Amino acid sequence: MINRPELGPLVTFVPNKNLPVYSWFYYKEGFSRDFVMKMFREFNAKPDPDFSVLDPFMGVGTTLVASREFGVTSFGFDISPLPVFASRVKTRDYNTDEIKKWTKWLFSQKFERIDYESSSLVKRAFKKPILDEIVFLRETINGIPNELYRDLFLLALINASNKASYAFKDGAVIKFRKRPVPPIREMLKRTLKQFSRDVEKIKFKNVSAYPELGDARNILLDDGSVDMVITSPPYLNKIEYTRVYSIEMELFFNYIRTPNMIDSALGKNVKISHKDIESLEKYLNPSDPEIAFKYLKDLQQVLEEMERVTKPGVPVIIVVGNGCLPNKVVETDTIIADMGKDMGFDLVDIWVANQRWCTRNRTEKVGLSRESVVVLKKV
Ligand SMILES: C[S@@+](CC[C@H](N)C(=O)[O-])C[C@H]1O[C@@H](n2cnc3c(N)ncnc32)[C@H](O)[C@@H]1O
């Protein structure tokens, strides 16, 4: 285990905030372009369309966008439709004349009030006239016949709506703050201009990226087909990613959170047998919460899948935070390393990027929790 504090900021989304394309959808759970590029350099990857990179917990596609910039083919899966949508939009090629043309068309459409139903959550997030405008703009954008630009404009509207909202994300919960908000049309115009500038700035190579809806526990790729894995699973303390994005999901995907979707997140809807509990007892005590057992069982399945789809000698790079339980820290990084070794990976290293205290009742210290990069190598 080596301390690498220089990786600390890179395993967060913060460095992406001002980067063209990467910044199109703020995803607190993401890591940075610079992290992915650093891994390409450290593991001697070379631009080559026949080289394939996998991120089975793709989020908003940081690994895939960086792969397109670097010049390698990439595959990504995520269980949740919103990040998959953002990843799709961010990994495509656009023509700025088309963006201009559709912007002009959009803002020449005359506002009409459209009837809609919305939850109390959405009503609380927006002033009524702003919500009316957002719904009108959404419906107008849905009339763009070319899917490429329809999706791009919808992501721009999602981005702009977040800036015109009283709601904000505070860790795992949505909070509200009444404040002066900018007019949504102006916000959207500005966002589209920025997207258009970004399209000119980013230099994508002629390689494909495949962002898909899918489950990391059942990766839809052939055995021995992948040359490198760069990924970050949900952390034990934050396995449910959909709740804080409920407003976007409802407004733009007409998608009310379904138990089905939440159940397929890591650590949920897993049946745990006595045998599983026994096999995980080297990492947990029987009295530990069931969720910790389910989470580790799922992680084990994901590792098996990564072992299956990779070629021999391939690096598997996993950014993970340890889990805080009320009475102890679950050292997910060393557990992944151990599980990996059991299923035929070599452990290259564990790089500690950040350390934080786990606390009980906000003040009582329970233990130090690491955020680490676990590097395994398929034998
Ligand atoms: C830590 S985030 C990854 C963020 C990503 N590195 C980025 O830069 O955007 C973990 C992601 O895993 C997804 N997820 C949770 N359970 C999953 C599963 N069973 N299969 C695939 N993805 C899953 C969540 O929706 C979330 O987007």
How far is the centre of ligand 1, averaged over its atoms, from the C-alpha of 215 (Å)?
A: 9
How far is the centre of ligand 1, averaged over its atoms, from the C-alpha of 324 (Å)?
A: 19
* Residue range 2-92+205-378, CATH number: 3.40.50.150
Task: List all residues whose CB is within 6 A of at least one atom of ligand 1.
Answer: 27, 29-31, 56-57, 59-60, 62, 77-80, 83, 215-217, 232-234, 241, 264-266
What is the 3-state secondary structure of the chain?
A: CEECHHHCHHHCCHHHCCCCCHHHCCCCCCCCHHHHHHHHHHCCCCCEEEEEEEECCCCCCHHHHHHHHHCEEEEEEECCHHHHHHHHHHCCCCCHHHHHHHHHHHHCCCCCCCCCCCCHHHHHHCCHHHHHHHHHHHHHHCCCCCHHHHHHHHHHHHHHHHHCCCEEEECCEEEECCCCCCCHHHHHHHHHHHHHHHHHHCCCCCCCEEEEECCCCCCCCCCCCECEEEECCCECCECCCCHHHHHHHHHHHCCCCCHHHHHCCCCCCCCCCHHHHHHHCCCCCCCCCHHHHHHHHHHHHHHHHHHHHECCCCEEEEEEECEECCCCEECHHHHHHHHHHHCCEEEEEEEEEEEEEEEECCCEEEEEEEEEEEEEEEC
Q: Vertex 219, ends 214 and 222: CA angle to 5°? A: 135
**The model scores a pTM over 0.85:** yes
Closest CA to 257 of 358, 121, 355: 121
pLDDT in the model for residue 171? 82
Reading the chain (379 residues) residue by residue, the pLDDT tens digits are: 999 999 999 999 999 999 999 999 999 999 999 999 999 999 999 999 999 999 999 999 999 999 999 999 999 999 989 999 999 999 999 999 999 999 999 999 999 999 999 999 999 999 999 999 999 999 999 999 999 999 999 999 999 999 999 999 988 889 999 999 999 999 999 999 999 999 999 999 999 999 999 999 999 999 999 999 999 999 998 767 778 999 999 999 887 665 555 555 777 778 888 999 999 999 999 999 988 999 999 999 999 999 999 999 999 999 999 999 989 999 999 999 999 999 999 999 999 999 999 998 888 999 999 999 999 999 9
How far is the centre of ligand 1, averaged over its atoms, from the C-alpha of 58 (Å)?
A: 5
Nearest-atom number in ligand 1 for the CA of 60 is 9
Nearest-atom number in ligand 1 for the CA of 265 is 16
How far is the centre of ligand 1, averaged over its atoms, from the C-alpha of 284 (Å)?
A: 24
Q: Give the start-to-end residue ranges of the domains of the chain.
A: 2-92+205-378, 96-201
